[in-house]
Structure 1
Amino acid sequence: MKKVIFIIYCFFASSIILAQQKKRDTLFIKYDNSLLTKKQLRGEKTYIYVIKGTGNQKDFVYLLEEGMCFNLKPKNVKKFKTILKKSNAYYKKDKLYDWKLAEYLGKYVVFLVKGNKYIKVVVVEGIE
């Protein structure tokens, strides 16, 4: 009897935890060499993508590569310049508010699309 009660308790506890997690939309962004620079972290196999126009103030934002997928079928691939405009992160010509961009992109699961490669990235914001 105790086992049955324990199993029922575990089932309800796990369903409550799963219900509290927010689902995020997926954002597919076309890789743009003029706005993104790929760099390898020193002494690691990890890559980051530096965004042109960021790092102008005390904070900075970049995209950290998490993994790679192939042959996904996205419904809509957006241009990176369009995403930057939509985020309202520009405050001067080619200068971005890093925190606004990080807040906007943080709402999504982000993939950079480069040919048939889909690079899953995470937005990282830091303070100098």
Structure 2
Amino acid sequence: MSRCLIIVFIFLFVAAAYVLARPQKEFVLSDVANKTMCPIEVEINDNPDRIPRRIKYLKCAARPNKLCSERHIQHGCCRQHHHAFVTECVEIYDWVQVTFKGQDAPQAIKVPVGCTCLIEETTAAAEVR
């Protein structure tokens, strides 16, 4: 029985060492914010009467397809019209719990947390006679 426990322990130790030794991919927001099909702009919303005081808003860039035109990319959200669908960059939202000074109960506020390429299907119009 103890031999079995030793084998299990050795296996777990080797597995943990392997996982920890693997290189981890980490991306910093400032490095990737404008290298996506739908670039973002980071805005810090500061309200001294709120906890948390500062909330990071990640909004769609004013000109989301600037990267596409600069690099001559013709796919995804870079080509906004296709025969079967239309693509556009849209903001993604989440709810953040905040508390305002003088209030006991927290409340949720809607915060933009990113920007993604959305596909909207289109249909051909019927022929007009």
Which TM-score bucket, shorter chain as reference? Answer: 0.3 to 0.5
Q: How high is the TM-score relative to the length of structure 1?
A: 0.32
TM-score of the superposed pair, with normalisation by structure 2: 0.32
> Which has the higher relative contact order, 1 or 2, with Cα contacts under 8 A spaced 6 or more apart?
1
